[in-house]
A and B are shown apart, each in its own frame.
Chain A
Amino acid sequence: MALHLNLLHEEILEQRQRQRDPLKLGVLALISCGTLMFLYYSWSAYRTLELKSKLGAVDRAWVKLEPNVTAAQKKVAELQNIIKTTRALDDYIEGRFFWAPVLQTIARCVAPNTQLTSLDGTVLDDGKGVNVTIEGVAAGREPRAAAEDLRQMLAEQLRQNYSDVKVEFKALEDLDTTVNLGGTRVPMARYNLNVTFGPKIAAQPTSTPSARQKKRS
């Protein structure tokens, strides 16, 4: 076996020590890490700028759209308000009580021997009913029966169009005076009817009430 002599071992050791210098290694590691971090930072910054540019584009689109949207929102609010108000007005209009059909019904019920002297009608505050007071005089052999006929006729006619109809005598009294009816003198009675009824079932405002007139006192 040949003998090898290393006469440069000191120099080689020194070189190896230089190569393994921790400070040098550390600086190298630091530079590598720094480079990596810089690259990552640059990548992140690029992505951020990209996002900012996207935001700019979205902002421009929004600025372009905003006046139209504001106008549309205003219009929607205005239209909704109009719809609500119109609906409320329609409810008010539909909820009104129409007197003409009642007057027509009363005129239809009054016979020649049952004259009305006054009629007072009131729509109750809550709109759930109507109160009518009718005063008049009835004449005939049986004046009370004539008044009762009127009461029954009113109840019957009103029930056709209204709910909860009540027709009651508040007063019914014989009078001392007599009246000439068809050439015969007959006794008279004064009546006071109280009529109450609820909302109509299907009555609508009529354009022309019956031509029949109330008998004049």
Chain B
Amino acid sequence: MTGSKLTKDQIKKLALSVMGFIFLLYVYFTFFLAPLQRSRADTRRKIADRQSKIDTSSEDLKKAAKLEQNAKDATVRFAALRKLNPEGAPLAWFPPRMKGFFASEQIDKAVARLEGSTDLKQEELSHWTRYNWDIDLPQTDYSILGKAIADLENAEPLLCITKLSIRATPDQPQFQHAQLAAANLVEKK
């Protein structure tokens, strides 16, 4: 009968054991298991992150290959358009080019003057500048001029004639005096 009853000393020991057990549980969960779980969660997150990057990158690689295939025409065209304008300041090459072009069209006197330049507002064309030119043809003939303008519009796709003025020359009735205002797109180098 008295055997099942706990003595004071035993109760004390039991209480101490319970406290020790609770402390052990606390230490175990807080300082051992929790960091391990945190580390595991962190590792899982990193793996998911890397894996998603790998998956996305695989798609990117496929997309790049496909785009490269599809963009062939655009790349070739872009290169061709860039080649239209030579290196160097436009003022150095545009007037001689116009002079040569109109000379080949039987218009001997041709003078091109730079009126100014403006940066294009369009985001896609932010690397291009619009140069405004005044092309003076003091001695020309209407039909020759018409053919020359047609050839110019076909040969220079980046050039746009914005104004055109043709006047009869009073003292030389066989000639007309023409003035063109043209805008030319040139890539910034």
Q: Which residues of A contact B (CB under 8 A)?
A: 13, 16-17, 20-23, 26-27, 29-30, 33-34, 37, 40-41, 44-45, 47-48, 51-52, 54-55, 58-59, 61-62, 65-66, 68-69, 72-73, 75-76, 79-90, 92-93, 96-100, 103-104, 107, 116-123, 205-214, 216-217
Q: How large is the interface on B (under 10, 10 to 19, 20 to 34, 35 or more residues)?
A: 35 or more
Q: Are A76 and B143 in contact (CB under 8 A)?
A: no
The 8 A-B residue pairs with the shortest CB-CB distance, nearest first, are A100-B150, A209-B146, A26-B17, A214-B142, A69-B57, A72-B64, A88-B124, A217-B168
Q: Are A73 and B60 in contact (CB under 8 A)?
A: yes
Q: Are A100 and B146 in contact (CB under 8 A)?
A: yes
Does B188 sit within 8 A of A, measured CB to CB?
Answer: no
A-B contact count (CB 8 A): 213
Q: Are B146 and A89 in contact (CB under 8 A)?
A: no
Q: Are B150 and A79 in contact (CB under 8 A)?
A: no
Q: Is the interface of B mostly helix, strand, loop or mixed?
A: helix
Q: Which residues of B contact A (CB under 8 A)?
A: 3-4, 6, 10, 13-14, 17-18, 20-21, 24, 28, 32-33, 36-37, 39-40, 43-44, 46-47, 50-51, 53-54, 57-58, 60-61, 63-64, 67-68, 71, 74-75, 77-78, 81, 122, 124-125, 127-128, 141-143, 145-147, 149-151, 153-154, 157-158, 160-168, 170, 173-174, 176, 185
Query: How distant is the Cα of A86 from the Cα of B122 in the complex, in angstroms?
Result: 13
